[in-house]
């Protein structure tokens, strides 16, 4: 174990120490910040800025830079976009300016470099060496129907700091309470999950701690963080990596040495939930159980051959039953080949490949597609009775075409049987038993159509139609039938939903929201009970309402 720590420390030092470049600190804006992520995407689709949207979260400095780019060509924005731009520039002004002239609460009068603010809500400090921000987090979401109600309540605080020209620090703590557990690992939902502690009445509490330390320079960064991430373009969830599972500890590495190429990499520590009996202590009462170690390494290479066209490909490997493997700390390798060497003649680890294409070359139109390959054998391609294990998403989004402030999104996602599965429990594509990919997992498909109208600055109206379907479950076995299961032979679980939602961002990262949901979740009784919280089963008219301050 000590040797592994020396390897990790040496790797980080060898990369960080020689670097002494310009200021470029990184702390990450969480992927659930729908307002700013939606605005950045809108600016890119309307050819105001350029982004690589396959990897999220973005750093606050990256977002601030893109807002400044938009400000420089503000004559190309409509009235609502100009107001949105001014609103978000206030949130990110710490990254690009001295301490902003916020609308203050006047708690700290005549304190140099220190301010409290209503918008954004928090405490802020900035001088030549050190920048600091701390903000509260609080929110509640109620769901009402004829069955009664359930709620999700959360609260905590988040903060970040920059030191010198290269260092970034951030932390976020949020305690969550659900009156009924509605985000279990088995459930077919995109709601963020957690490590529940059951409470009376079928509810649950869980805590989510995120944060990290990063070192950045003008063409790259490295960091040790515990956070969520998403890989793959999509407006209704990603299929490579998603933020559904609790956040994981990881080493992140990013370089962009030229405008047309970017490399993203991370090595993560997953939670296997599989007890290692050889390391557990059974002489005490109660027994001290220890989980088996489980890791993941992943890279993504993005090329930009033409303006606003991004072509990305990469691979990942989930591995266990060994300590941290130095070969998987090398960001540029094809890990499946490494695995064949390390485990020659015995069981291999679990490797994946993926591809993503994103085009914003036509103004107002974003076209994207993601292809995730779990297992690939050439002989299956030419045999109609066999299939490989893969998932794919195709989508498009049209913004501000003909009607200002209106966007239309359409997506189709499918996943063949056995995708995201593995017969070895410690090698599953999951952490804390939450699948890291498509939320419907294998043998499933989804149709998603959404209309969004940004009526005023901060006030968004959205209507969507969702048809999500899941077929029979199959086990991953070693017999010869594992690749013969038909795709969606019949529907065993189905969610058909129509929703109308209004959201108002009244101060930065703080929302009031109201949603009417007409949903019909049906199928085999066993499947419906397994994959759906009791409150949402069957035909329902649900009203969802609440607010949040921060994320």
* CB-CB neighbours of 328 under 10 Å: 22
Tokens at residue 337, please? 């080949």
Q: What is the mean pLDDT of residues 4-12?
A: 47
pLDDT band for position 98 (cuts 50, 70, 90): low
pLDDT band per the 50, 70, 90 thresholds, residue 88: very high
Looking at residue 9, its pLDDT comes to: 44
Arithmetic mean of pLDDT over the chain: 92
Looking at the predicted structure, is the pLDDT value of residue 8 above 70?
A: no
- Flag whether pLDDT at 65 surpasses 70: yes
Q: Whole-model pTM above 0.85?
A: yes
- Give the separation between CA 344 and CA 331, rounded to whole angstroms: 22
Span of 112-121, 367-376, 416-425, 522-531 with lowest mean pLDDT? 112-121
pLDDT (0 to 100) of residue 246: 97
Q: How confident is the model at residue 17 (pLDDT cuts 50, 70, 90)?
A: very low
| Per-residue pLDDT, 93 | 86
**What is the arithmetic mean of pLDDT over 5-32?**
58
Measured CA to CA, the distance from residue 308 to residue 435 in angstroms comes to: 31
Return d(Cα 71, Cα 393) in angstroms, integer: 33
Q: Which residue has the higher pLDDT, 385 or 543?
A: 543
Report pLDDT for 104.
57
pLDDT (average), residues 352-357: 98
The pLDDT assigned to 103 comes to 58
The tokens of 407 are what? 């966007």
Q: Which residue has the tokens 């804006």?
A: 29
Mean pLDDT of all residues in 126-133 = 91
Domain 2-97+129-549 listed as CATH 2.40.160.130: yes
Whole-number pLDDT of residue 20: 36
Q: How far is CA 58 from CA 27, 39, 92, 437, 519, in A?
A: 8, 13, 13, 20, 33
Q: What is the pLDDT, as a whole number, of residue 100?
A: 55
pLDDT in tens, 290-345: 999 999 999 999 999 999 999 999 999 999 999 999 999 999 999 999 999 999 88
Q: What angle do CA 245, 210, 501 make, to 5 degrees?
A: 60
**If we measure between CA atoms, which residue out of 238, 291, 272, 243 comes closest to residue 429?**
272
Q: What is the mean pLDDT of residues 425-447?
A: 97
pLDDT band at 107 (very low <50, low <70, confident <90, very high): low
Percentage of the chain beyond pLDDT 90 is 81
At 436, the pLDDT band (50, 70, 90 cuts) reads very high
Whether residue 546 has a cis bond before it, omega within 30° of 0: no
Q: Find out whether 304 and 310 touch, Cβ atoms under 8 Å.
A: yes
State mean pLDDT over 369-388. 92
Mean pLDDT of 59-82: 96
């Amino acid at each position: 174990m000590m040797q592994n720590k020396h390897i990790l420390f040496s790797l980080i030092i060898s990369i960080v120490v020689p670097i002494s470049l310009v200021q470029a600190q990184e702390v990450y804006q969480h992927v659930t910040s729908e307002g700013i992520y939606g605005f950045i995407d809108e600016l890119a689709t309307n050819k105001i800025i350029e982004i690589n949207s396959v990897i999220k979260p973005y750093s606050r400095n990256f977002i601030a830079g893109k807002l400044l780019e938009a400000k420089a060509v503000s004559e190309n924005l409509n009235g609502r976009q100009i107001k949105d731009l001014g609103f978000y520039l206030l949130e990110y002004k710490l990254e690009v300016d001295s301490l902003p002239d916020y609308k203050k609460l006047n708690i700290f009068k005549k304190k140099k470099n220190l301010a409290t603010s209503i918008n954004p809500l928090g405490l802020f400090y900035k001088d030549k060496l050190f920048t600091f921000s701390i903000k509260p987090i609080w929110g509640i979401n109620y769901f009402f129907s004829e069955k009664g109600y359930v709620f999700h309540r959360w609260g905590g605080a988040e903060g970040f700091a920059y030191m010198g020209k290269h260092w970034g620090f951030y932390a976020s703590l949020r305690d969550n309470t659900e009156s009924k557990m509605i985000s279990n690992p088995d459930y077919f939902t995109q709601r963020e999950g957690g490590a529940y502690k059951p409470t009376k009445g079928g509810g649950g509490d869980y805590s989510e701690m995120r944060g990290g330390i990063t070192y950045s320079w003008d063409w790259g960064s490295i960091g040790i963080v515990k956070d969520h991430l998403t890989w793959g373009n999509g407006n209704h969830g990603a299929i490579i990596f998603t933020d559904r599972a609790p956040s994981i500890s990881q080493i992140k590495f990013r370089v962009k040495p030229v405008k047309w190429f970017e490399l993203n990499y991370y090595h993560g520590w997953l939670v296997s939930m599989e007890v290692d009996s050889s390391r557990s202590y059974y002489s005490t009462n109660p027994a001290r159980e220890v989980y088996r170690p489980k890791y993941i390494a992943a890279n993504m290479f993005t090329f930009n051959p033409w303006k606003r066209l991004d072509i990305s490909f990469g691979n990942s490997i989930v591995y266990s039953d060994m300590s941290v493997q130095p070969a998987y700390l090398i960001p540029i390798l094809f890990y499946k080949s490494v695995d064949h060497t390390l485990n020659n003649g015995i069981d291999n680890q679990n490797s994946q490949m993926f591809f993503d294409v994103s085009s914003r070359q036509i103004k107002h139109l974003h076209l994207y597609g993601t292809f995730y390959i779990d297992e690939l054998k050439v002989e299956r391609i030419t045999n109609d009775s066999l299939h490989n294990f893969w998932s794919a998403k195709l989508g498009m989004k049209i913004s501000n075409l003909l009607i200002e402030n209106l966007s239309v999104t359409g997506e189709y996602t499918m996943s063949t049987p056995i995708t995201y599965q593995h017969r070895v429990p410690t090698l599953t594509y999951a952490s804390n038993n939450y699948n890291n990919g498509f939320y419907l997992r294998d043998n499933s498909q989804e149709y998603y159509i959404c209309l969004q109208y940004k009526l005023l600055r901060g006030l968004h109206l959205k209507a969507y139609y969702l048809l999500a379907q899941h077929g029979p479950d199959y086990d991953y076995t070693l017999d010869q039938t594992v690749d013969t299961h038909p795709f969606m032979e019949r529907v065993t679980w189905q969610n058909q939903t129509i929703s109308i939602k209004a959201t108002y961002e009244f101060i930065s990262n703080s929302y009031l929201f109201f949603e009417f949901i007409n949903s019909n979740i049906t199928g085999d009784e066993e499947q419906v009970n397994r994959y759906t919280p009791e409150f949402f089963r069957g035909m329902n008219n649900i009203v969802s309402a609440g607010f949040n301050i921060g994320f």
